[in-house]
Structure 1
Amino acid sequence: MRSRAFHKFWLKVAAVIVGSFGPVFFLGTMVAATEPARLSLDILSWPIDGSVTYASADTRFLSALTGGFLLGWGVTIWCLSAWVHDAAPEGVRRTVVTGLTAWFCLDSAGSIASGNAANAAINVLVLLAAVGPLWLPARD
Protein backbone atom coordinates (compact mmCIF):
# COMPACT_ATOMS: atom_id res chain seq x y z
CA MET A 1 0.00 0.00 0.00
CA ARG A 2 3.02 2.29 0.05
CA SER A 3 4.18 1.67 -3.50
CA ARG A 4 4.77 4.57 -5.87
CA ALA A 5 1.85 3.38 -7.98
CA PHE A 6 -0.48 3.39 -4.98
CA HIS A 7 0.77 6.84 -3.93
CA LYS A 8 0.08 8.09 -7.44
CA PHE A 9 -3.44 6.68 -7.19
CA TRP A 10 -3.93 8.23 -3.74
CA LEU A 11 -2.91 11.65 -5.06
CA LYS A 12 -5.97 11.43 -7.29
CA VAL A 13 -8.09 10.51 -4.25
CA ALA A 14 -6.72 13.56 -2.43
CA ALA A 15 -7.41 15.72 -5.50
CA VAL A 16 -11.04 14.62 -5.57
CA ILE A 17 -11.47 15.15 -1.82
CA VAL A 18 -10.04 18.68 -1.96
CA GLY A 19 -11.50 19.67 -5.31
CA SER A 20 -15.01 18.37 -4.63
CA PHE A 21 -15.62 21.18 -2.15
CA GLY A 22 -15.09 23.74 -4.94
CA PRO A 23 -18.34 23.27 -6.87
CA VAL A 24 -20.31 23.05 -3.62
CA PHE A 25 -19.08 26.45 -2.50
CA PHE A 26 -19.44 27.87 -6.01
CA LEU A 27 -23.16 27.10 -5.74
CA GLY A 28 -23.22 29.38 -2.71
CA THR A 29 -22.61 32.35 -5.01
CA MET A 30 -26.12 32.18 -6.49
CA VAL A 31 -29.07 32.94 -4.23
CA ALA A 32 -31.24 30.23 -5.80
CA ALA A 33 -28.55 27.55 -5.34
CA THR A 34 -27.04 28.32 -1.93
CA GLU A 35 -28.47 25.33 -0.05
CA PRO A 36 -25.58 22.83 -0.66
CA ALA A 37 -23.01 25.41 0.51
CA ARG A 38 -25.19 26.55 3.42
CA LEU A 39 -25.75 22.97 4.56
CA SER A 40 -22.02 22.19 4.22
CA LEU A 41 -21.14 25.13 6.45
CA ASP A 42 -23.88 24.16 8.90
CA ILE A 43 -22.39 20.65 9.13
CA LEU A 44 -18.84 22.00 9.45
CA SER A 45 -19.91 24.33 12.27
CA TRP A 46 -21.67 21.52 14.13
CA PRO A 47 -24.30 21.14 15.45
CA ILE A 48 -26.60 21.33 12.47
CA ASP A 49 -29.01 24.01 13.62
CA GLY A 50 -29.84 26.13 10.59
CA SER A 51 -27.96 29.14 11.97
CA VAL A 52 -25.70 29.39 8.90
CA THR A 53 -27.17 31.52 6.15
CA TYR A 54 -26.02 32.80 2.80
CA ALA A 55 -28.11 35.97 3.07
CA SER A 56 -25.12 38.32 2.83
CA ALA A 57 -23.54 39.16 -0.52
CA ASP A 58 -20.19 39.13 1.33
CA THR A 59 -20.72 35.48 2.29
CA ARG A 60 -21.60 34.58 -1.29
CA PHE A 61 -18.46 36.37 -2.53
CA LEU A 62 -16.28 34.56 0.02
CA SER A 63 -17.92 31.32 -1.13
CA ALA A 64 -16.88 32.11 -4.72
CA LEU A 65 -13.27 32.63 -3.63
CA THR A 66 -13.27 29.49 -1.49
CA GLY A 67 -14.79 27.39 -4.24
CA GLY A 68 -12.26 28.63 -6.76
CA PHE A 69 -9.28 28.00 -4.50
CA LEU A 70 -10.46 24.51 -3.56
CA LEU A 71 -11.17 23.45 -7.12
CA GLY A 72 -7.83 24.89 -8.26
CA TRP A 73 -5.96 23.13 -5.46
CA GLY A 74 -7.66 19.83 -6.30
CA VAL A 75 -6.78 20.22 -9.99
CA THR A 76 -3.18 21.06 -9.02
CA ILE A 77 -2.88 17.86 -6.98
CA TRP A 78 -4.34 15.85 -9.88
CA CYS A 79 -1.87 17.44 -12.32
CA LEU A 80 1.06 16.77 -10.00
CA SER A 81 0.01 13.13 -10.01
CA ALA A 82 -0.40 12.98 -13.78
CA TRP A 83 2.52 15.11 -15.00
CA VAL A 84 5.18 15.31 -12.26
CA HIS A 85 4.92 12.27 -9.99
CA ASP A 86 6.84 9.87 -12.25
CA ALA A 87 9.81 12.27 -12.42
CA ALA A 88 9.81 13.27 -8.73
CA PRO A 89 7.53 11.00 -6.65
CA GLU A 90 9.00 11.93 -3.27
CA GLY A 91 8.93 15.64 -4.04
CA VAL A 92 5.28 15.45 -5.11
CA ARG A 93 4.35 13.41 -2.03
CA ARG A 94 6.07 15.84 0.32
CA THR A 95 4.57 18.85 -1.45
CA VAL A 96 1.01 17.55 -1.16
CA VAL A 97 1.41 16.41 2.46
CA THR A 98 2.95 19.79 3.38
CA GLY A 99 0.13 21.68 1.65
CA LEU A 100 -2.56 19.60 3.33
CA THR A 101 -0.87 19.99 6.72
CA ALA A 102 -0.63 23.77 6.25
CA TRP A 103 -4.34 23.89 5.35
CA PHE A 104 -5.18 21.78 8.40
CA CYS A 105 -3.24 24.00 10.82
CA LEU A 106 -4.55 27.34 9.60
CA ASP A 107 -8.12 26.20 8.95
CA SER A 108 -8.34 24.49 12.33
CA ALA A 109 -6.84 27.46 14.20
CA GLY A 110 -9.24 29.81 12.42
CA SER A 111 -12.17 27.51 13.12
CA ILE A 112 -11.34 27.44 16.82
CA ALA A 113 -10.76 31.22 16.94
CA SER A 114 -14.11 31.85 15.24
CA GLY A 115 -16.03 29.67 17.68
CA ASN A 116 -16.34 26.67 15.34
CA ALA A 117 -14.09 24.17 17.11
CA ALA A 118 -16.17 21.27 15.79
CA ASN A 119 -14.74 21.98 12.34
CA ALA A 120 -11.22 21.38 13.66
CA ALA A 121 -12.33 17.86 14.60
CA ILE A 122 -13.87 17.35 11.16
CA ASN A 123 -10.60 18.62 9.66
CA VAL A 124 -8.76 15.72 11.31
CA LEU A 125 -10.95 13.29 9.36
CA VAL A 126 -10.50 15.19 6.09
CA LEU A 127 -6.72 15.35 6.62
CA LEU A 128 -6.48 11.63 7.34
CA ALA A 129 -8.61 10.79 4.30
CA ALA A 130 -6.76 13.11 1.93
CA VAL A 131 -3.24 12.20 3.06
CA GLY A 132 -3.94 8.50 3.59
CA PRO A 133 -0.82 6.47 2.77
CA LEU A 134 1.08 9.56 1.64
CA TRP A 135 2.24 10.16 5.24
CA LEU A 136 5.15 7.81 4.62
CA PRO A 137 7.50 7.50 1.63
CA ALA A 138 6.83 4.77 -0.90
CA ARG A 139 8.73 1.49 -0.58
CA ASP A 140 9.98 0.81 -4.09
Structure 2
Amino acid sequence: MSHSFHRFWLKITAIVVGIFGPVFTLGTRAATAEPARFTLDLLSWPLDGRTTFTHPDTQFLAALTGGFLVGWGVMIWLLATSVYDHAPEAVRRAVLLGVLSWFVLDSAGSIASGNASNAVFNVAVLLLAVGPLWRPARA
Protein backbone atom coordinates (compact mmCIF):
# COMPACT_ATOMS: atom_id res chain seq x y z
CA MET A 1 0.00 0.00 0.00
CA SER A 2 1.08 3.54 -0.64
CA HIS A 3 1.33 6.33 1.91
CA SER A 4 -1.57 8.15 0.26
CA PHE A 5 -3.79 5.06 0.58
CA HIS A 6 -2.81 4.66 4.24
CA ARG A 7 -3.65 8.32 4.86
CA PHE A 8 -7.03 7.76 3.17
CA TRP A 9 -7.66 4.63 5.24
CA LEU A 10 -6.82 6.44 8.46
CA LYS A 11 -9.74 8.74 7.68
CA ILE A 12 -11.96 5.67 7.23
CA THR A 13 -10.73 4.43 10.61
CA ALA A 14 -11.55 7.80 12.17
CA ILE A 15 -15.09 7.63 10.84
CA VAL A 16 -15.56 3.97 11.89
CA VAL A 17 -14.47 4.84 15.44
CA GLY A 18 -16.11 8.23 15.73
CA ILE A 19 -19.51 7.39 14.23
CA PHE A 20 -20.52 5.47 17.33
CA GLY A 21 -19.97 8.53 19.55
CA PRO A 22 -23.07 10.51 18.58
CA VAL A 23 -25.15 7.32 18.63
CA PHE A 24 -24.26 6.63 22.25
CA THR A 25 -24.47 10.27 23.27
CA LEU A 26 -28.09 10.20 22.10
CA GLY A 27 -28.62 7.52 24.74
CA THR A 28 -28.34 10.12 27.49
CA ARG A 29 -31.94 11.30 27.02
CA ALA A 30 -35.06 9.17 26.82
CA ALA A 31 -36.39 11.10 23.83
CA THR A 32 -33.28 10.34 21.74
CA ALA A 33 -32.13 7.01 23.18
CA GLU A 34 -33.56 4.67 20.52
CA PRO A 35 -30.47 4.60 18.24
CA ALA A 36 -28.24 3.77 21.21
CA ARG A 37 -30.71 1.25 22.61
CA PHE A 38 -31.05 -0.49 19.24
CA THR A 39 -27.27 -0.53 18.70
CA LEU A 40 -26.67 -2.09 22.11
CA ASP A 41 -29.50 -4.57 21.54
CA LEU A 42 -27.97 -5.54 18.19
CA LEU A 43 -24.47 -5.91 19.66
CA SER A 44 -25.79 -8.11 22.47
CA TRP A 45 -27.56 -10.37 19.97
CA PRO A 46 -30.26 -11.58 19.64
CA LEU A 47 -32.47 -8.60 19.04
CA ASP A 48 -34.96 -9.04 21.85
CA GLY A 49 -35.84 -5.51 22.97
CA ARG A 50 -34.59 -6.19 26.51
CA THR A 51 -31.87 -3.56 26.31
CA THR A 52 -32.92 -0.22 27.74
CA PHE A 53 -31.31 3.14 28.35
CA THR A 54 -33.57 4.10 31.24
CA HIS A 55 -31.15 3.80 34.17
CA PRO A 56 -29.17 6.97 34.95
CA ASP A 57 -25.95 4.93 35.22
CA THR A 58 -26.45 3.62 31.68
CA GLN A 59 -27.14 7.12 30.41
CA PHE A 60 -24.00 8.44 32.11
CA LEU A 61 -21.91 5.61 30.68
CA ALA A 62 -23.38 6.39 27.24
CA ALA A 63 -22.29 10.03 27.62
CA LEU A 64 -18.76 8.97 28.55
CA THR A 65 -18.56 6.41 25.77
CA GLY A 66 -19.90 8.84 23.18
CA GLY A 67 -17.39 11.49 24.19
CA PHE A 68 -14.44 9.11 24.14
CA LEU A 69 -15.38 7.67 20.75
CA VAL A 70 -15.84 11.06 19.08
CA GLY A 71 -12.61 12.30 20.63
CA TRP A 72 -10.71 9.21 19.49
CA GLY A 73 -12.15 9.53 15.98
CA VAL A 74 -11.18 13.21 15.78
CA MET A 75 -7.68 12.37 17.01
CA ILE A 76 -7.24 9.71 14.31
CA TRP A 77 -8.52 12.14 11.66
CA LEU A 78 -6.02 14.79 12.79
CA LEU A 79 -3.20 12.25 12.85
CA ALA A 80 -4.08 11.42 9.25
CA THR A 81 -4.28 15.02 8.09
CA SER A 82 -1.72 16.85 10.24
CA VAL A 83 0.90 14.35 11.42
CA TYR A 84 1.02 11.46 8.96
CA ASP A 85 3.31 13.17 6.43
CA HIS A 86 5.89 13.81 9.18
CA ALA A 87 5.81 10.37 10.79
CA PRO A 88 3.80 7.89 8.72
CA GLU A 89 5.04 4.73 10.40
CA ALA A 90 4.60 6.11 13.92
CA VAL A 91 1.03 7.21 13.11
CA ARG A 92 0.21 3.84 11.54
CA ARG A 93 1.56 1.94 14.56
CA ALA A 94 -0.17 4.22 17.07
CA VAL A 95 -3.57 3.84 15.41
CA LEU A 96 -3.08 0.11 14.83
CA LEU A 97 -2.12 -0.52 18.47
CA GLY A 98 -4.98 1.67 19.68
CA VAL A 99 -7.52 -0.27 17.63
CA LEU A 100 -6.03 -3.63 18.67
CA SER A 101 -6.12 -2.57 22.34
CA TRP A 102 -9.78 -1.62 21.99
CA PHE A 103 -10.50 -4.95 20.29
CA VAL A 104 -8.86 -7.09 22.98
CA LEU A 105 -10.37 -5.30 25.98
CA ASP A 106 -13.80 -4.72 24.48
CA SER A 107 -14.06 -8.32 23.29
CA ALA A 108 -12.79 -9.78 26.57
CA GLY A 109 -15.19 -7.61 28.55
CA SER A 110 -18.05 -8.51 26.25
CA ILE A 111 -17.40 -12.21 26.68
CA ALA A 112 -16.98 -11.84 30.45
CA SER A 113 -20.29 -9.97 30.69
CA GLY A 114 -22.19 -12.63 28.78
CA ASN A 115 -22.28 -10.73 25.48
CA ALA A 116 -19.96 -12.83 23.35
CA SER A 117 -21.92 -11.82 20.25
CA ASN A 118 -20.33 -8.37 20.52
CA ALA A 119 -16.88 -9.96 20.19
CA VAL A 120 -18.04 -11.36 16.83
CA PHE A 121 -19.23 -7.91 15.73
CA ASN A 122 -15.89 -6.53 16.94
CA VAL A 123 -14.04 -8.71 14.41
CA ALA A 124 -15.90 -6.98 11.57
CA VAL A 125 -15.23 -3.53 13.04
CA LEU A 126 -11.57 -4.45 13.57
CA LEU A 127 -11.14 -5.54 9.96
CA LEU A 128 -12.85 -2.40 8.67
CA ALA A 129 -10.97 -0.04 10.99
CA VAL A 130 -7.55 -1.55 10.34
CA GLY A 131 -7.88 -2.37 6.66
CA PRO A 132 -4.46 -2.02 5.03
CA LEU A 133 -2.87 -0.56 8.15
CA TRP A 134 -1.71 -4.08 9.12
CA ARG A 135 1.36 -3.54 6.98
CA PRO A 136 3.70 -0.58 6.62
CA ALA A 137 3.27 1.54 3.51
CA ARG A 138 5.82 1.40 0.75
CA ALA A 139 7.82 4.54 0.19
| TM above 0.5 | yes
Give structure 1 regions of 4+ aligned residues with deviation exceeding 6 angstroms: none
Q: How does 1:1-140 map to 2 (within 5 A)?
A: 2-140=1-139
Shift of 1:23: 0.3
> Helix, strand or coil for the counterpart of 1:78?
helix
Q: Distance in 2 between matches of 1:12 and 1:55?
A: 34
Shift of 1:139: 1.3
Name the amino acid aligned to 1:111: S
Name the amino acid aligned to 2:13: A
Shift of 1:31: 1.1
CA RMSD of the aligned region, Å? 0.4
Q: Deviations over 1:4-39 (max 9, x none)?
A: 000000000000000000000000001110000000
Name the amino acid aligned to 1:88: A
Q: TM-score, normalised by structure 2?
A: 0.99
Q: Distance in 1 between matches of 2:13 and 2:43?
A: 19
Shift of 1:55: 1.2
Q: TM-score, normalised by structure 1?
A: 0.98
Q: Distance in 2 between matches of 1:51 and 1:100?
A: 29
Q: Distance in 1 between matches of 2:46 and 2:29?
A: 25
Name the amino acid aligned to 1:126: V
Q: Deviations over 1:77-98 (max 9, x none)?
A: 0000011000000000000000
Q: Note the residue ranges of structure 1 that are not aligned, 5 or more in a row.
A: none
How many pairs does the alignment contain? 139
Q: Distance in 2 between matches of 1:66 and 1:109?
A: 17
Q: Distance in 2 between matches of 1:132 and 1:15?
A: 12
Q: Distance in 2 between matches of 1:66 and 1:117?
A: 19
> Helix, strand or coil for the counterpart of 2:114?
coil
Q: Note the residue ranges of structure 2 that are not aligned, 5 or more in a row.
A: none
